[in-house]
């Protein structure tokens, strides 16, 4: 029985430390249960975790970097470094690159997604982080602006609460961590459904993902998305969209989008990116 218990314990540990990409809708609980941040900590190796924090999206990178550093220190991470990139040349910093080679998790904070991409897109540092995350060698998390940059295309800004229209959104290139998705954050909290639909009308080949605050869409290497947290993850699937007028109307005119599929997922729900279907729990 002792050997069986050891095998079961080892299997549980592997499951807990299996790497993932965590896309967080912003305003995640940093005080009480810290469920989402704790999940990232565990997926980065728990007490063996070596975590790099990238606060580059923030206008106050020192303050925000130290805040997350303190959180992960309290959880018991083995080592934490703030990769405080404030200039594109620092994306070639040997010290930062060496740390990325040995770390087990990277956390991108909130702020301005255009600032984050402007500083890090196509730098050796971010290319290596992307590569290691896609290979499943490290866990990668991004909250708010850090979530917006995950796709190949990115919602850089725009309004909310109106009917879908092209003028509602500003699009830019993201970091391409999960190229097939198009993410919006603070989703229901800031009434951003029309904004996501406007983005999807131009990019129906992408999977639209709207993530509420204190909520996370966690992507495993096997193409399964799992929801963690207090809110919902909204999935807009336009792969079978039969019509949109977005190429024929003015930028401020309302858009029509026919035959979309919509899924609302909450804590514990799972979705297969390969099958474009929610999975039975």
The pLDDT of residue 12: 45
Q: Is residue 178 part of a domain?
A: yes
Residue predicted with more confidence, 206 or 2 = 206
Q: Is residue 2 part of a domain?
A: no
- CA 74 to chain centroid, in Å, comes to 23
Give the position of tokens 């929801």.
227
Where are any strands of DSSP class E within the chain? 20-24, 50-54, 79-82, 105-108, 139-143, 153-158, 169-173, 181-185, 207-211, 215-220, 224-229, 232-237, 243-244, 257-258, 261-266, 270-272, 277-279
Calculate mean pLDDT across residues 155-163: 92
Closest CA to 209 of 184, 175, 231, 241: 184
Give yes or no for a contact between 165 and 251, defined as CB atoms under 8 angstroms apart: yes
Instruction: Tell me the angle at which helices 61-75 and 35-43 cross, rounded to the nearest 10 degrees.
Output: 70
Give the position of tokens 């109307």.
249
Q: What is the pTM of this model?
A: 0.94
CATH number at residue 102: 3.40.50.880
The pLDDT of residue 161: 83
Q: What is the pLDDT of residues 39-69, one digit of tens each?
A: 999 999 999 999 999 999 999 999 999 999 9
Q: Is residue 172 part of a domain?
A: yes
Q: Is the pLDDT assigned to residue 189 strictly greater than 90?
A: yes
The pLDDT of residue 11: 47
Q: Is the pLDDT assigned to residue 257 strictly greater than 90?
A: yes
The pLDDT of residue 1: 46
Where residue 281 falls among pLDDT bands split at 50, 70, 90?
confident
Compute the distance between CA of residue 89 and CA of residue 72 in angstroms, rounded to an integer: 27
Compute the distance between CA of residue 140 and CA of residue 46 in angstroms, rounded to an integer: 14
Ramachandran category for residue 218: left, alpha or beta (phi over 0 → left; psi -120 to 50 → alpha): beta
Q: Is the pLDDT assigned to residue 16 strictly greater than 80?
A: no
Q: Is residue 9 part of a domain?
A: no
Which tokens is 270 given?
């799972």
Give the position of tokens 């980065």.
44
Which tokens is 275 given?
């099958």
Give the other-Cβ count within 10 Å of 164's Cβ: 21
Q: Is residue 79 part of a domain?
A: yes
Residues with catalytic function: 144, 162, 186
Where residue 5 falls among pLDDT bands split at 50, 70, 90?
low
The pLDDT of residue 214: 98
Q: Is the pLDDT assigned to residue 6 strictly greater than 80?
A: no
Number of domains in the chain: 1
* The CA-based dihedral angle spanning residues 273, 278, 279, 280, taken in that order and rounded to the nearest 10 degrees: 180
Non-local (6+) Cβ contacts of 72 within 8 A are: 37, 41, 49, 51, 53, 80, 107
CA distances from residue 58 to 10, 146, 242, 270 in whole angstroms, order as listed: 39, 10, 40, 31
Q: Is residue 206 part of a domain?
A: yes
Q: Is the pLDDT assigned to residue 8 strictly greater than 80?
A: no
* Mean pLDDT of the residues in the chain: 94
Q: Is residue 153 part of a domain?
A: yes
Non-local (6+) Cβ contacts of 89 within 8 A are: none
Give yes or no for a contact between 130 and 117, defined as CB atoms under 8 angstroms apart: no
Q: Is residue 196 part of a domain?
A: yes
Q: Is the pLDDT assigned to residue 95 strictly greater than 90?
A: yes
Tell me which residue range forms the domain holding 184: 19-279
């Amino acid at each position: 029985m002792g050997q069986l218990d050891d095998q079961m314990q080892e299997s549980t540990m592997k499951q807990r430390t299996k790497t993932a990409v965590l896309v967080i809708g912003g305003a995640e609980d940093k005080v009480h249960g810290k469920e989402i941040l704790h999940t990232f900590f565990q997926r980065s190796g728990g007490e063996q975790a070596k975590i790099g924090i990238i606060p580059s999206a923030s206008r106050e990178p020192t303050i925000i970097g130290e805040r997350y550093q303190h959180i992960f220190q309290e959880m018991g991470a083995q080592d934490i470094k703030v990769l405080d990139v404030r200039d594109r040349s620092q994306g070639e910093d040997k010290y930062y690159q060496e740390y990325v080679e040995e770390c087990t998790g990277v956390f991108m904070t909130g702020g301005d997604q255009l600032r984050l991409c402007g500083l890090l897109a196509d730098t050796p540092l971010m290319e290596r982080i992307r590569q290691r995350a896609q290979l499943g060698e490290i866990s990668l998390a991004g909250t708010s602006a850090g979530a917006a940059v995950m796709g190949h295309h990115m919602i850089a800004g725009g309004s909310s609460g109106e009917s879908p229209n092209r003028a509602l959104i500003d699009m830019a290139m993201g970091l391409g961590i999960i190229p097939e998705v198009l993410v919006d954050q603070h989703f229901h909290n800031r009434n951003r459904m029309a904004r996501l639909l406007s983005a999807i009308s131009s990019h129906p080949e992408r999977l639209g993902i709207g993530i509420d605050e204190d909520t996370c869409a966690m992507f495993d290497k096997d193409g399964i998305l799992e929801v963690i947290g207090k809110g919902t993850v909204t999935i807009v699937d336009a792969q079978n969209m039969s019509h949109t007028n977005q190429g024929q109307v003015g930028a401020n005119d309302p858009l029509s989008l026919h035959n979309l599929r919509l899924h609302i997922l909450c804590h514990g729900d799972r979705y297969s990116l390969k099958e474009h279907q929610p999975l039975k729990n």
